[in-house]
């Protein structure tokens, strides 16, 4: 995709789930290369396999076909070497730990000594703007704040890659836009590779350097669109002409792509079966 070295390579990957007696094809023939430092959004309708693709990259599930390479390693190796941080749709914070303790959790598992753990967690919380909430408990924070803690936690292990699965999906529009700014700021500071799953075209265009358009039934990668809006992006970017053109282009790609998939995808095996949302390995 660009001059920077590839950090994630997906080649011919497919994933099939067995649901009862039927088989569901979540992803088929996926080919994708993501370079270091890019902000890549995966966008598509429900059932297009974007979450499945993320989970395959994260080694939370295994592909039935094809291969993936993450930072030059297999996904399993990358997971064990803690090369990425994962941010889920829900904050998934532990109720019995304070905010600070939640951020320290991955560091505990890594075996980082206590003082250093605490120092790093404090820094991370400051980075997401929650420096005065160390002692608070998750239920005392709003949804947006909880998600920020989740992001801070994902950065704790200083991974090269950040995998984010609709992290702002549960938030309202205004909070979401604020969070988008925050995320871009973080990304600029830390220069990590971000793979970002979203439903929102505007969000995808605003945040990403590249947008991967996917279609459903079966899940496929249709097109990769480059977003040439300059960084840093701000409120003005959102109102620019180019922004509008790009969102229109993405929308078109989605619509046309899906229509093509529907027309040609009738013969796909097991296409009608629903893919379980949290299908485990």
Partner 1 sequence: MSSTGSSDDRPLRRTAMRVVPIVAVLAVAVVLMYPVALWLGLPLARLRMENLANWLVNTTAAHPLREAPAAGTTGAPAGARLTFGAFEELVATEDAAPVRDVERLVLVRGGEPVAATFTLDGEGLVLQSAVEGPLLQWGDLLEGPLDAGHVFRFSDPAALGSALFLNGSLLEAGAVDSVERADGVNREFTFSHGAGPVIVAGELLVEGVGFEVDGNRVVLGRAPPFNAPVRRISRDYAVLDAAAGTIALAQPSAQAPQAASAVLALAELLLGGVNGSNRTFQLQHTPLVENDPARRLVLNGQELSATAERPQERVDGERASFTFAGTRGVVTVNGAELTEGRDYSRAGNVVTFVRPPARNAQLRQYQDYLVSDPASGTVTLAVAPVPGDKLWAASYTYYDRPECGATPLECFFTMPQHPMPFPHWIAQRIGPFLTAYPFADSRNVVRATIYTAAGTLLALLLGGLVGVLLAVVFVAVRPAERALLPWVIASQTVPIIALVPVLLLLLGNVGVTVQTSLVPATLIGAYIAFFPVAVGTVTGLRSVDPLALDLMKSYAASPLEVFWKVRFPAAVPFFFTSLKLGTAAALVGALVAETESNNRYGLGYAIVGQVQAGNVSDVWILLIISALLGIGLVALVGVAQRVLAPWEFR
Q: Which residues bind partner 1 (CB under 8 A)?
A: 58, 60, 79-82, 84-86, 88-90, 92, 94-96, 105-106, 108-110, 137, 139-140, 157, 278, 280
Query: Which whole-number Å values give the CA distances from 27 to 39, 62, 65, in the listed order?
Result: 22, 12, 10
Q: Which residue has the tokens 């529907």?
A: 262
Task: List alpha helices for the chain, DSSP H.
Answer: 50-57, 75-80, 99-110, 114-127, 143-156, 173-190, 201-207, 235-238, 241-264
Q: With the C-alpha atoms ordered 172, 225, 192, 82, is the resulting torsion angle positive or negative?
A: positive
Pick 140 or 188: Cβ nearer partner 1:
140
What is the nearest approach in angstroms of partner 1 to the Cβ of residue 114? 15
Say if residue 218 is preceded by a cis peptide, omega within 30 of 0: yes
What is the nearest approach in angstroms of partner 1 to the Cβ of residue 137? 6
What is the nearest approach in angstroms of partner 1 to the Cβ of residue 42? 18
Query: Which whole-number Å values give the CA distances from 201 to 151, 168, 205, 207, 244, in the listed order?
Result: 22, 13, 6, 10, 11
What is the nearest approach in angstroms of partner 1 to the Cβ of residue 95? 4
Pick 75 or 257: Cβ nearer partner 1:
75
Q: Which residue has the tokens 């967690």?
A: 121
d(CA 91, CA 264): 38
Pick 76 or 199: Cβ nearer partner 1:
76
What is the nearest approach in angstroms of partner 1 to the Cβ of residue 98? 10
What is the nearest approach in angstroms of partner 1 to the Cβ of residue 193? 16
Judge whether 103 and 130 are in contact, CB under 8 Å: no
Pick 91 or 257: Cβ nearer partner 1:
91
Pick 49 or 91: Cβ nearer partner 1:
91
Question: DSSP for 77-92?
Answer: HHHHTT-EEEE-SS--
What is the nearest approach in angstroms of partner 1 to the Cβ of residue 257? 29
Give me the torsion for CA of 29, 80, 208, 197, rounded to 10°: 60
φ, ψ for residue 177, nearest 5 deg: -65, -40
Q: Which two tokens stand for residue 118?
A: 């605490």
Pick 138 or 218: Cβ nearer partner 1:
138
Pick 39 or 84: Cβ nearer partner 1:
84
Pick 167 or 218: Cβ nearer partner 1:
167
What is the nearest approach in angstroms of partner 1 to the Cβ of residue 239? 36
Judge whether 88 and 74 are in contact, CB under 8 Å: no
């Amino acid at each position: 995709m660009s001059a920077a070295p590839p950090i994630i390579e997906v080649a011919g990957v497919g994933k099939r789930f067995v649901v009862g007696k039927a088989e569901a094809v979540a992803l088929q023939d996926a080919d994708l290369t993501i370079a270091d430092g890019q902000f890549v959004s995966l966008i598509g309708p429900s059932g297009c396999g974007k979450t499945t693709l993320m989970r395959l990259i994260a080694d939370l599930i295994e592909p039935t076909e094809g291969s993936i390479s993450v930072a030059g390693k297999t996904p399993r190796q990358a997971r064990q070497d803690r090369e990425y941080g994962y941010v889920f749709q829900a904050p998934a914070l532990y109720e019995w730990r304070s905010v600070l303790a939640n951020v320290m959790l991955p560091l505990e598992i890594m075996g980082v000594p206590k003082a250093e753990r605490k120092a790093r967690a404090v820094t991370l919380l400051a980075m997401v703007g929650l420096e005065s909430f160390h002692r608070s408990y998750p239920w005392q924070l709003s949804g947006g704040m909880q998600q920020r803690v989740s992001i801070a936690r994902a950065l704790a292990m200083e991974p090269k890659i950040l995998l984010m699965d609709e992290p702002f999906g549960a938030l309202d529009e205004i909070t979401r836009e604020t969070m988008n700014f925050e995320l871009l700021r973080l990304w600029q500071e830390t220069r990590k590779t971000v793979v970002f799953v979203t439903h929102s075209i505007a969000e995808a265009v605003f945040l990403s350097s590249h947008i991967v358009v996917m279609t459903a039934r079966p899940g496929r990668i249709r097109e990769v669109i480059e977003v040439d809006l300059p960084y840093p992006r701000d409120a003005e970017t959102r109102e620019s002409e180019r922004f509008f053109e790009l969102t229109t282009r993405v929308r078109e790609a989605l619509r046309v792509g899906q229509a093509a998939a529907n027309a040609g995808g009738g013969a796909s095996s097991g296409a009608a079966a629903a893919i379980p949302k949290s299908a485990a390995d």
